[in-house]
RNA sequence: GUGGCUAUAGCUCAGUCGGUAGAGCGCCUGGUUGUGGUCCAGGAGGUCGCCGGUUCAAGCCCGGUUAGCCACCCCA
């Protein structure tokens, strides 16, 4: 008998963990729909060349192969399939494929598993669920969507506060600000500088400055200016003035910088009235992905910053393009598995029980099992999730069966039916056609951790 | 892909100088002849990740391997 070992990076929850995850998914979906996003699902696979097109060298893609495939030579063909590693690439393909039947601007949400062949770690998986929202336009996309989308995400995550999910901070920046500033300084390798700046929180400003000089060929003065820019953050438009002052100091004012600052300022102003304190301008937010062209977003769980971003995204001028038409978009993606795994491992919340069952009907003896089944049917007919005891064991055993599963009520059939709340021990007479449990006990609920 | 650490009961772990395996929790039975949880008594459960080597003797030492965790990389 082979020893069963867990496969790292492919998370599976126990039933009560799944109750938590399902609640998170329900709340996200409801919020997205409240804001008019249409739900879609795309296939799990895309042609490999499509998957590798956008991502650069090291995208770890799982390829799909038939066990009975005749030869392995076909592997090099473009028909080779891979599992999608995000929901943006499949969505871009979907938009092109259905452009004639979609109405633009098109708002969609998409909640699905994605796969990445990475080394797993705490909060990092090889199979995980993402919840994406994107808005895509045909030819053009108004800037106000770059303001709206992070606020929808903030609202969605905020709607989970009452079950114990911590506050979030949506950190925002604008690619045009960084690029405009760097170019104003005379830096050519904008991508490379962004990649180093992204490491600030991990290795600190001194090491980043060294790297900028050593790897990107920046002068110490340029590196210092980049770090000064990255140090700017705040929740009001004052940050914009500080960036302008810094740019003046280094003679780095450019048109691109100015455009970016205007966009960033519009986002900060709108956010400060619609979600005060949640959205923070942070000029060190870089994002590794090279296809972002405007706003970029990262979201941290307050008190769990080391977990990394639980919701990221940005604006891309060419989400999709068929040669003739270009479709710009803006979107964000919540790492549902990362979020849920931390909620569970940190014990921030819990499910009231792992089974749906609210009532266990006891069985006196196998001859009268039909009577117990009848009680269960009567309760179910009124929408009460009910189970019948697996055997006519001693009542103590049957109560224990319920207790182990968190089932709050045990029903004792007879000439005079009785139902017992096994938490309080209270037992009362009850009518199968009329009794119902308190609303709070009808279905499993997610509740904040006690204390 | 690179590096560090780890692997013993269902779970969390202990195991001294190399001398044939332990605890707590959980589980089962009984005390309680049809009402759980507490308490008491008893019980089941192990190819010490796997392969090889050293040795009279290996959970312990050595080599390899697999898996897990962490860091880098990258990212949700």
Q: Which nucleotide is nearest to A333 (CA to C1')?
A: B76
Region of residue A217 (left: phi > 0; alpha: psi -120 to 50; beta: else): left
Half-sphere exposure of residue A91: CA atoms within 13 angstroms, side-chain side: 31
pLDDT, tens digit (0-9, with 9 covering 90-100), for A85-123 = 999 999 999 999 999 999 999 999 999 999 998 888 889
pLDDT in the model for residue A1: 33
**What would the two tokens of residue A50 be?**
């499509």
**Distance, Å, A57 CA → B2 C1':** 17
pLDDT, tens digit (0-9, with 9 covering 90-100), for A236-288 = 999 999 999 999 999 889 999 999 999 999 999 999 988 888 999 999 887 76
**Distance, Å, A1 CA → B63 C1':** 27
How confident is the prediction along chain A (451 residues), in pLDDT tens digits per residue?
Answer: 345 667 889 988 889 999 999 999 999 999 999 999 999 999 999 998 888 775 544 568 888 888 777 665 555 555 788 999 999 999 999 999 999 999 999 999 999 999 998 888 889 999 999 999 999 999 999 989 999 999 999 999 999 999 999 999 999 999 999 999 999 998 888 888 888 888 888 888 888 888 888 878 888 889 999 999 999 999 999 999 999 999 999 988 999 999 999 999 999 999 998 888 899 999 988 776 678 889 999 999 999 998 999 999 999 998 888 888 999 999 999 999 999 999 998 889 999 999 999 999 999 998 999 999 999 999 999 999 999 999 898 999 999 999 999 999 999 999 899 999 999 999 999 999 999 999 999 999 999 987 5
**Distance, Å, A2 CA → B52 C1':** 21
pLDDT in the model for residue A54: 57
**Distance, Å, A278 CA → B16 C1':** 56
**Distance, Å, A4 CA → B20 C1':** 27
**What torsion, rounded to 10 degrees, do the Cα atoms A117, A85, A25, A449 define?**
30
Protein residue at shortest CA distance from C1' of B68: A8
H/E stretch holding A316: strand A311-321
Strand B nucleotides, any atom under 7 Å from protein beta carbons: they are: 1-3, 27, 34-37, 49, 67-76
A238-249 helix and A175-185 helix, angle to the nearest 10 degrees: 20
pLDDT in the model for residue A338: 95
Protein residue at shortest CA distance from C1' of B33: A394
Q: Which nucleotide is nearest to A332 (CA to C1')?
A: B76
Residue/partner pairs of A220-228 with CB below 8 Å, 24 or more apart: A221/A250, A222/A185, A222/A186, A222/A187, A225/A181, A225/A185, A225/A250, A225/A252, A226/A181, A226/A182, A226/A185, A226/A187, A226/A193, A226/A197, A227/A200
Any alpha helices (H) in A99-174, and if so which ranges? 144-158
pLDDT in the model for residue A2: 44
ipTM higher than 0.90?
Answer: no
């Amino acid at each position: 008998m082979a020893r069963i070992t867990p496969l790292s990076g492919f998370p599976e929850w126990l039933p009560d963990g799944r109750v938590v995850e399902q609640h998170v998914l329900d709340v996200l979906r409801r919020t997205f729909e409240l804001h008019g996003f249409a739900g879609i699902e795309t296939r799990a696979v895309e042609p490999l060349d499509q998957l590798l097109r956008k991502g650069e060298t090291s995208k770890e893609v799982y390829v799909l192969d038939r066990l009975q495939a005749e030869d392995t030579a076909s592997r090099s063909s473009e028909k080779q399939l891979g599992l999608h590693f995000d929901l943006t690439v499949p969505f871009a393909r979907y938009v092109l494929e259905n452009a004639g039947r979609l109405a633009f601007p098109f708002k969609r949400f998409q909640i699905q598993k994605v796969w990445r062949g990475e080394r797993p770690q705490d909060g990092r998986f090889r199979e995980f669920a993402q919840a994406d929202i994107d808005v895509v336009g045909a030819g053009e996309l108004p800037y106000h969507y770059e303001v709206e989308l992070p606020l929808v995400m903030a609202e969605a995550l905020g709607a989970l506060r009452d079950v114990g999910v911590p506050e979030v901070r949506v950190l925002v920046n604008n690619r045009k600000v960084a690029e405009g500033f760097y170019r104003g300084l005379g830096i050519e390798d904008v991508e490379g500088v962004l990649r180093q700046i992204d490491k600030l929180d991990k290795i600190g400003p001194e090491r980043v400055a060294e790297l900028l000089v050593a790897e990107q060929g920046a002068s110490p003065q340029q590196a210092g200016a980049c770090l000064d820019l990255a140090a700017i953050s705040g929740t009001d438009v004052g940050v914009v003035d500080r960036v302008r002052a810094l740019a003046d100091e280094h003679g780095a004012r450019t048109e691109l910088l100015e455009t970016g600052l205007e966009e960033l300022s519009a986002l900060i102003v709108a956010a400060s009235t619609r979600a005060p304190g949640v959205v923070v301008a942070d000029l060190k937010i870089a994002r590794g992905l090279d296809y972002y062209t405007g706003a970029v977003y990262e979201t941290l769980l307050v008190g769990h910053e080391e977990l990394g971003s639980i919701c990221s995204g940005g604006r891309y001028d060419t989400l999709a393009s068929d040669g003739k038409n270009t479709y710009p978009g803006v979107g964000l993606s919540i790492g549902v598995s990362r979020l849920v795994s931390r909620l569970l491992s940190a014990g921030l919340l819990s499910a009231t029980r792992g089974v749906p069952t609210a009532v266990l009907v006891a069985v006196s003896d196998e001859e009268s099992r039909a009577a117990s089944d009848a009680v269960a049917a009567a309760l179910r007919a009124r929408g009460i999730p009910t189970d019948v005891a697996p055997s006519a064991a001693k009542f103590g055993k049957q109560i224990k069966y319920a207790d182990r599963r968190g089932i709050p009520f045990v029903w004792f059939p007879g000439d005079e039916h009785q139902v017992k709340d096994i938490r309080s021990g209270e037992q009362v007479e009850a009518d199968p056609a009329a009794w119902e449990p308190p609303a709070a006990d009808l279905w499993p609920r997610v509740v904040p951790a006690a204390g």
